[in-house]
Every structure is written in C-alpha cells, then in structure tokens.
Structure 1
Amino acid sequence: MLFPTPALGTEDRRVLGEVEELRRGLRFRVQESPTKWTEGLRKFLTADAVAASNSIEGFKVSTVDVEDLIEGEQDVDVSEENREETLAYQRMMTYIQTLHDVQDFHYGKGFLNALHWMLQGHRHTPNKPAGQWRRGAVYVTDARDPTIAAYTAPEAAEVPDLMAELVEWLNTDDGTHPLVRAAMAHLHLVSIHPWADGNGRMSRSLQTLLIAREGELAPEFSSIEAWLGRPGNTWEYYRELRLRGATYRPGQDVSGWVRFNLTAYHQQAQTVSNRLGRSNRVWSLLGSFAEARGLDERLVSALHDVAMSGRVRRTRYERAEGISLQRAQRDLRDLAASDVLTPVGRTRARFYTAGPAFPREALESARTPLPLTDPYAD
C-alpha cells in the first residue's frame, strides 16, 4: 500500500499556479538569452544539485569544486571519498537529464536498480549490495543520538511487492499534477527505503526525473535538490519526514509533505530566476568592461566565472571558448599581468580569482543577496 495523494486546498492550488507561472516565465527567459549566457547556468545548477544532495548525506563538496570535478579537473582539493561520491552522483544525474524526452520511456524495477548501481556501485559489498533490494532491516538514525531509530523501514520481505506497486503507480497517469506526483514519488521511495544505502539521494533523483519528464523546463532547471540542501531547509526536510512517523504508515494524510514541496518548487524557481537575472547583468557589465579595455570578447566568459563562482581554471575557460591550451594560458596570464586576475597555486592546480583591477561593479552585482518570498506567508 502506498500513501494516497491528498487533494489540494485553495491555497495549495494558488501556490501551484504561481509555480507554473514562474516556470513558464523562466523558460521564456532561458529561450531568449544567448546560449553562452545560459550554458554556464545549466552547468552551475547541475553542480549545485549534486553538491546539495550529497551534502545532505554528509559528503561536503562545494558547488565550485563539483563544477571543476564535472569538467574533469584532477587537482581539486577534495578527499577521494568525496570525489567518488560526487562523480557517481553526477553520472547518474547526467543520465536522468537525458531521459526527459525519451518517447518510449518506462519505469521498471530493473531501471531503478540500475540507477542505484550508478550511484552506489563503487560501494558494493555483500552486506550492502548495490543495484539490488536490501536483504535485511534498515533504519534512519536520529541525528542527535545514533542509538535511536528515527525511522524503521518496512521488512525486507515486503520490499519487492511495495516496489512493484510503486512501479505500477509511476507508469499510471492518474491525472494528478506532475509536480505533485513528483513529490509523492519522492515520499513513496524514501519511505519504502528499498536499498541498504543511498535511499535519500535515489528518492530526490526520482523526483527530479519525474519533474524532467513533465517537460516544462530542462532537467537542470527543474530539480529542487539544491533548495533541499540549504541547511535550514534540510532541517525542515527531515522534520517533514519525521512527521510521517517512526514506521511505515501509508494510510495517513500527507498534505503537509505536498505543501512543503510546493514551497520548495516556488522558492527554487525564484532562486533560478534570480540567478539568471544576476548572471545576465554581470555578463553585460563585463562585456562593457572588456570593450572599454580593448579586450577580446572571449575573455568575458573567464571573467564571468570569476565573478559568479569566485574563480576560473584554464581548462574550464579553454573548453568554454573552444580555444587551444596555449591561447587559454596566454589569455589568463595577460589578465593576471594587468591585475584583472590573481593567480593562485602552481602548474596544473592553478586557478585565478579577481584581481585589484577586476571591475567592482560586476563583483557587487554578482554578490548582492536577493530575497525569497514564502508563498504560503500572508
């Protein structure tokens, strides 16, 4: 038995309507913005989702480090464990992103287990098998006291039937709004806890997949994983899951869970819209700076990375502009010689940050905090 999807109240329908309007507006703005402006945003959002979802599970890697790892950088100052977790999750998320427009797509037990192998295959052991249902009990311990089971998942013997029911539900369109279905899919999977490890990230990824399949926005603009990974929101996330009880009780009303997710959708759409607007303003400011200084237009992408992410590496700039290694090295050295950039580190580990001559207006625009509204607040 799965949780019944609750009916939306008047306020819920209003918030959902606002989310749809925000997403339509964002889609239009993305389509109207130059590809070079939005490509960096897409990569950032993917990295931010990976960093945030992993951070919930205790793997702490900054978004800018995730961006570098995704770009193939080897000299990133992170532990080997964090590197493996980041790249495994990124590979799975990349695959999920490619599924948004597959015509004959179908959910299945094998498909979900394959995704789990992509996420956890590097940790596979006989006691914690990857890509297979768990064979024993599994608990979510209390963050304040690991001797307390905050949640005990259903018996292992029940998992195959529960997952068969979930797969059937996933493949059946019951007329529920796709964003609400995505939230419910997350709750179903995380409550069943079918694997020995990785259940939280799998549940958040399944929600992202359902949102992506809805097709309103590209997958990297659709995930709420970055929102869930913010410290205050993570606490609220765990609180909402704890409210479902210490054991699997699928007959209960889960309206609070749906409202929590509607808030997440709303505020993440605000966040992405703000990020896009900030990115475009910074790009324009840097374009004017480059023109005034007689700099080649291609240098703006390197300066934009510095303003928005705090640094740029030679390889990232080289790939973004499709130029040779030697050209990229000369460009960055010239910017450093004119104090626009400051080099940090040596040889392959070197990156560049803002120098004394970096345009202050662009940095201020990139770093100015923007407000978020609570859609349920009066």
Structure 2
Amino acid sequence: MLQTVDASKTQLDAARPLPPHTLASLREKLLLEWTYHSNAIEGNTLTLRETKVVLEGITVGGKSLREHFEAMNHRDAILYVEEIVAKSETLSEWQIRNIHALVLKAIDDKEAGRYRQENVVIAGASTTPPDFLHLPAEMKQLIAWYDGAGAMHPVERAAKLHTRFVRIHPFVDGNGRTGRLLLNFELMKAGYPPAIIRKEDRLAYYDALDEACVSGNYDSIFVLVAHSVLRSLTTYLDVLGLADSRRDDE
C-alpha cells in the first residue's frame, strides 16, 4: 500500500511546480472536503454544499450557530496548519493548543486551547483516556515520541501521531478534529496532500482507532490513512492528466 502511495507521490513530485490556478483549485477542493468530512464525522449536519456556502460567508437557514462556527473554525485551523508547515516549524504542545483554540473559537472559549481539568470517557471506545492530572506528562511524552519517530514512513508516523493524540484525549471537546489536523500537518510537512477521512468511513475509522488504542496494532489505521492519502494523490493526478489505472477503492 505504501509503495503505491509513494509511486503516486513520485508522479506528482515530477510534475511540480504545478500550474498556479490548478494548485489553487485543488487546494480549495481539498480544504472544503476536509472541513466537511471532519465536521460530519463529529455530527455536524451541514452538507458539502452548505459547508461551501458557509465558508463563503453566507448563513444557512435551519442550521445552528455552532455548526456555522465549526465550519469557519476548521477552515481557519487548516490555514494555521498550512502556515506552520510553510515555515517548517517543528510540532510542539504550543502549536497543538493553538490548533485546538481555533477549532473551539466562539464555541467554548473557556476550554479552547486548554487541557481538560476533568476526567472523561469516550462513547463507544474500549479504552479510557488518562486522568487529567497526567495530561502534562502524557503530552510531553507524545512530543518526545514524535521527536524520535523521524525514521518512520511519513504516512505511518502521521497515523500514529493522530492515534496517540486521540488516545490521550487532552481536551474536553474537539479532539477528533484537532487530531485529524495533526494527521495532515505531518503529511503536508512531508509533501503529501491531506488525507481526508470520509464520513462514510466513520465506523471503520473508529474501529481502527479502537484496535490501535487497545492492542497497539496500528495496521488498520495505517491502511485507512494510506487509502485516504492515495485518494487525494489520485485527485491531483487526475486533474493533471497523469493518473493511471491504479485506484484505491477496490
């Protein structure tokens, strides 16, 4: 699977620099789909088209204010992730807090960017997140692990970063969205397009995360993320007229 991903990325890299308008349109498409699917996984009821309208500054009737904020906030968080990738900044707790603060902006300003001050359970999960008193140590360990994981394939490292973060569940809300932003921070840093985990794959995604958190077996989440990366790579290659017969939906 990773060989297929890398072959597609090699094709894309060979076509760089991409035409500016093509690049801008692909970025806009993926930003919209990433925002829609990541929010929909968490229960946001905006459709893809409604999400597009909200990001253009138009209010959608019958939808809650929170759902509007979730779309706009996620877009702003993506822009921040793009910014830190462009600056080649290394991952830090400060950045993670900043990403989360953008995700919860105007939704729960008290908790935005703040580690939780209480214990929580995750509905449907087989594991319980660490006690809130352990969060500072857990997050330091996460960054220490990340700093030492440079030899891993970027797709595996991104998936493992995401999973380890979700297991810690450091915030009272917004952990899933923040975790997927971290996933794509790592992929984009390595020159891959963002992986869009689709709403339709929510059950398989949750099952893969649960398996990794319970047993330490990351195979399922690695495969799911690799498929998602390949889908985005194929979108680029299709637009550039470079796609071959490989598809990730068999």
| TM-score above 0.5, yes or no | yes
* Aligned residue number for residue 45 of structure 2: 60
* Aligned residue number for residue 3 of structure 2: 17
Q: 1:154 aligns to what SS in structure 2?
A: coil
- CA deviations on 1:326-353 (whole Å, 9 max, x unpaired) are xxxxxxxxxxxxxxxxxxxxxxxxxxxx
Q: 1: CA distance between counterparts of 2:199 and 2:138?
A: 31
- Which ranges of structure 2 fall in alignment gaps of 5 or more residues? none
In structure 2, relative to structure 1, the CA distance for the partners of 1:80 and 1:172 (3 Å cut) is same
* Aligned residue number for residue 373 of structure 1: 248
In structure 2, relative to structure 1, the CA distance for the partners of 1:210 and 1:371 (3 Å cut) is closer
Q: 1: CA distance between counterparts of 2:39 and 2:78?
A: 12
Q: 1: CA distance between counterparts of 2:32 and 2:60?
A: 14
Q: 1: CA distance between counterparts of 2:248 and 2:83?
A: 32
Matched, 1:197 2:173: yes
The TM-score normalised by the length of structure 2 is 0.86
Q: 2: CA distance between counterparts of 1:373 and 1:263?
A: 6
Matched, 1:259 2:223: yes
Q: 1 or 2, which has the higher strand percentage? A: 1
Matched, 1:138 2:120: yes
Q: 2: CA distance between counterparts of 1:49 and 1:41?
A: 12
The TM-score normalised by the length of structure 1 is 0.59
1:124 positional shift: 2.4
Amino acid at match of 1:70: L
> Alignment RMSD, CA only?
2.6
Is residue 121–residue 131 contact of structure 1 (8 Å, CA) maintained in 2? no
In structure 2, relative to structure 1, the CA distance for the partners of 1:371 and 1:262 (3 Å cut) is closer
In structure 2, relative to structure 1, the CA distance for the partners of 1:252 and 1:230 (3 Å cut) is closer
- CA deviations on 1:268-309 (whole Å, 9 max, x unpaired) are 3234434x258x9xxxxxxxxxxxxxxxxxxxxxxxxxxxxx
In structure 2, relative to structure 1, the CA distance for the partners of 1:172 and 1:102 (3 Å cut) is farther
In structure 2, relative to structure 1, the CA distance for the partners of 1:51 and 1:183 (3 Å cut) is same
Q: 1: CA distance between counterparts of 2:60 and 2:246?
A: 32
In structure 2, relative to structure 1, the CA distance for the partners of 1:273 and 1:110 (3 Å cut) is same
Q: How many residues align?
A: 247
- CA deviations on 1:210-253 (whole Å, 9 max, x unpaired) are 11111x24xxxx1112xx1241x1121011123246xxx5x733
**Aligned with 1:206 (options 182, 189, 195):** 182
- Which ranges of structure 1 fall in alignment gaps of 5 or more residues? 1-14, 143-148, 281-369
Is residue 66–residue 107 contact of structure 2 (8 Å, CA) maintained in 1? no
Q: 2:123 aligns to what SS in structure 1?
A: strand
Greater RCO (Cα-Cα under 8 Å, separation 6 or more): 2
